[in-house]
Structure 1
Amino acid sequence: MNAPVQPHAHAQPLPRRHGADLSTGRRMAGPLRWLIRGDPTPSPAQWQAVGESLLQGDPAADALVAWMGEVGMATSKPLFDRAACDGIGQLDAPPAPLRQFFATVETVPAWVDPVRLDAGARACGLSGLTGMRVLRDFGLMAGYQAAAINRTLVMTGALSKGAQKRVAETTKWWIDCTRPGGMAVGAPGYVSTLQVRLIHALVRRHLVARPDWDSTAHGLPINQGDMHATYLAFSVIFLMGQRLLGVPITAAEGADVMHLWRYIGWLMGVDDRWLHHDEQSGRIALYHNLLAQAPPDATSRELGRALMDEPLGRHYQRFGWLQGRFNRARHLSIARTFLGRAGMRALGLPPTVLPWYPVLTTAPRWLLMQLLRQLPGGAERLSQHGLNAQAAYLPVLFGGDDPRLRDAVGVEAVPSVEQ
């Protein structure tokens, strides 16, 4: 494989993390070449753009948070919450910074098709819990190999929060976003996404002011490149992983999922240039992003081992000890399928685990789903059953807690935001 061509000497200096270990980047990105037409090696301009994305934040949200810090969170956060839920028009004389932010997010892009958003949401439910396992074991677990992204988790204390809680909160947000109608203005997915965007801006403001944040090495906290990687995990990796596990998602369904996540990414603050309307362009972008990632380090192993044991902390109604250990083994076998031995070692996971679960279930799953799809209304019934199964699993993740994103997006996570 050819290395990406280096940019000209006069180009903008890039953070040291950019392309810091091309051999590891090639290992992670290599399998994508089988799914990409032509040579995906980035051009000098593309390589420079990926690097520069590590220096770019979310100007609209960053400006809003600067104002919130000036007037105080006790005053500004309730106004933000009400505008997110009810619309900026429901506030009497809203402050200009708040009005400007919501004027932007409430102006839905012309390319957004509500019918396709709902179709993409139904496609996210086709495989039920299999899709959730892909996100956990291929998106989240594999993503821990990118050590530079992990640094934000470490510096905000997210490691001490516990993997089980983080998985539960991320799953709740994903379910909010992937229900039909969930991304309409004021709907749960829309509100949750704006809350997550706010906490990203708060964390960015907090970390960049810390003396131990090295911008020359890491760029900006929660930058466009890292947000782009997260968006690709929920769209491109989600679709690719399901198909590898035997879920027969059609090209049209995949396009609808991409459409849904293009809008979610836009609402999250990802710049238009990093959003993709089809899987092929998304795969190429993922290839470029993976090449540029910093290699795994000790935080990768700490996060990986914590996520490995996450199933043991779920709130099963019966046979908890047995279910916890079975789910731990199942998730490890799925991770082994996607990561390979080298990836398992990089994350501190046992490399001798065999991919027994995908081997035993992929072909039967494909055959059964193909059969059910041939029946009248079969795809619709599969989708509804899967959506119900995903929502029904939330009590297992949250237990007796209220399954909301209170802790995930609460401003208490960034105590010095007003300093």
Structure 2
Amino acid sequence: MSQSSPDIPRRHGADVERGRRMARALKPLIKGDPEPTAQQWQAIGESLNHGDPAMDALVAWMVTHGMGPARRLFDQAVVQGIASIDDPPQPLRQFFEQVENTPAWVDQKRLAAGARACGISGLTGLRALRDLGLMAGYQASAINRTLVLTGTLKKGAQRRVAETTKWWLDATRPGGMARGAPGWNSTLQVRLIHALVRRALSADARWDSREYGLPINQCDMHATWLAFSVIFLFGQRLLGVPLSAREGRDVMHLWKYIGWLMGVEARWLVDSEQQGRVALYQNLLAQAPPDDSSRELGRALMEEPLYRQYKNLGWLRGRWNRALHLSIERTFLGKSGMRALGLPDGVLPWYPLISFAPRISWHMANRVLPGGRARLERQGQRQQQAYLRVLFGQQTPRLIQDQYH
């Protein structure tokens, strides 16, 4: 498998065989051959040079207009709608007319069902996101380059986890993706931050576009989208949450809309888990192998539970959760993945082993009892909200305030 154009960044498929080993667990779940065709491989490589044209154009106008007043107009349009602004500037109106025009394929009932399925897993879903989505994702070293150059690497894993969890919960609460709701608002704010970072790093002499392509490009945004959808579903089931095929389709539908609003191109957004697994497999082949940044990020995330804001028994609970997460990561990553991330490879996968049977039994029993599913949803959502309070402590949960303008 080789690059078919000199314009494709060098990182594309830098270690295909390692990518194949990382994707090995997916193959039994995929029908047919997931290997990319020459055309698909070319398209993935080209996507490393594609950003978010609609938001990038808006940011260019914001910088010219003056970031302070432009940002205030943007925030007003996010919360109140573009119609709330008298005679809005054309770039702002053009962008919001696009995002406020909800695609015809969006099914509101399925968005609500997908949100309920995200909540039903409680802490297990958040652990799957953290230990399989976030931690395992640090092996893709080219994506880490953005964190290195923006200084985010030095700001602390606990803050990154807290902010990501805040956005995820906003987006996955029932009604959260309605226009003007917290998830809709947060998603557009994150999209703006991405565009500001992309603009800043593209002008930074330290950014090697021939090596890395465009900062926060379509390939990497697609990888993140796959983590929140396909990997989230895969990880929960491995940990004992028995989501049905229909629930999986509803979660995929929810995240298809979130991805669309986030600026991921429609061609990368799929409808089914099966399509998503193939896309994940192919994306993993394209990612660069681990490097020193993978190990630095991995070790920082390993220590993250020690810095949570527990109300009591903080020292003990921090070390308990550190050990618990390491055992889940050992299950997902294997010894080679643990070593690649600078994690102790002698850890045993004890937590998934002892918790799988009780968890799946609890979920299955509740699903057959009257009102049991609703009880699982309420309990799961309460657990997730409580976890957010542990992450933020006395601070008001909020997204990062951007600094790249």
* TM-score interval, smaller chain: over 0.9
Shift of 1:363: 1.4
Q: 1:175 aligns with which of 169, 176, 193?
A: 169
Note if 1:164 corresponds to 2:158.
yes
Q: 2:303 aligns with which of 293, 297, 309?
A: 309
Q: 2:86 aligns with which of 89, 92, 114?
A: 92
Match of 1:24 in 2: 18
CA distance in 2, matches of 1:336, 1:41: 27
Shift of 1:12: 6.0
Q: 1:145 aligns with which of 139, 156, 161?
A: 139
Q: Deviations over 1:102-139 (max 9, x none)?
A: 00000000000111101000000111000000000000
Note if 1:112 corresponds to 2:106.
yes
Alignment TM-score, normalising by the size of structure 1: 0.96
Match of 2:194 in 1: 200
**RMSD between aligned residues:** 0.9
Q: Deviations over 1:33-78 (max 9, x none)?
A: 0110011111000111111110100000000000011011111001
Match of 1:356 in 2: 350
* Contact 1:12 1:52 (C-alpha < 8 Å) held by counterparts: no
Note if 1:213 corresponds to 2:207.
yes
1:34-113 counterparts in 2 under 5 A?
Answer: 34-113=28-107
Q: Deviations over 1:313-336 (max 9, x none)?
A: 001011000000000000000011
1:233-312 counterparts in 2 under 5 A?
Answer: 233-312=227-306
Shift of 1:6: 3.6
Note if 1:232 corresponds to 2:226.
yes
CA distance in 2, matches of 1:246, 1:385: 16
CA distance in 2, matches of 1:377, 1:250: 17
* Contact 1:17 1:217 (C-alpha < 8 Å) held by counterparts: yes
Note if 1:14 corresponds to 2:8.
yes
Shift of 1:169: 0.6
Q: Which runs of 4+ in 1 moved over 4 A?
A: none
Q: Deviations over 1:325-364 (max 9, x none)?
A: 0000000000110000000000000000000000000111
Match of 1:411 in 2: 402
Question: Unaligned regions of 5+ residues in structure 1, if any?
Answer: none
Percent identity, please. Answer: 67
State the SS of the aligned residue for 2:311: coil
CA distance in 2, matches of 1:226, 1:384: 33
State the SS of the aligned residue for 1:100: helix
Query: Which has the larger displacement, 291-300 or 366-375?
Result: 366-375
1:308-347 counterparts in 2 under 5 A?
Answer: 308-347=302-341
State the SS of the aligned residue for 2:243: coil
CA distance in 1, matches of 2:206, 2:110: 44
* Contact 1:125 1:386 (C-alpha < 8 Å) held by counterparts: yes
The amino acid that maps onto 2:402 is V
Shift of 1:172: 0.5
Q: Deviations over 1:211-244 (max 9, x none)?
A: 1111110000000000000000000000000000
CA distance in 2, matches of 1:160, 1:341: 26
Query: Which has the larger displacement, 305-314 or 393-402?
Result: 393-402
Shift of 1:13: 2.5
Shift of 1:26: 1.0
CA distance in 1, matches of 2:398, 2:16: 40
State the SS of the aligned residue for 1:220: coil
Shift of 1:376: 1.6
Query: Which has the larger displacement, 15-24 or 384-393?
Result: 384-393
Shift of 1:384: 1.7
Q: Deviations over 1:248-283 (max 9, x none)?
A: 000000000000000000000000000011000000
* Contact 1:147 1:296 (C-alpha < 8 Å) held by counterparts: yes
CA distance in 1, matches of 2:297, 2:365: 39
Alignment TM-score, normalising by the size of structure 2: 0.99
The amino acid that maps onto 1:389 is Q
* Contact 1:122 1:384 (C-alpha < 8 Å) held by counterparts: no
CA distance in 1, matches of 2:326, 2:66: 45
Question: Unaligned regions of 5+ residues in structure 2, if any?
Answer: none
The amino acid that maps onto 1:98 is L
Shift of 1:379: 1.4
Shift of 1:371: 0.8
State the SS of the aligned residue for 1:154: helix
The amino acid that maps onto 2:149 is M
CA distance in 2, matches of 1:99, 1:235: 31
Note if 1:125 corresponds to 2:119.
yes
The amino acid that maps onto 2:392 is F
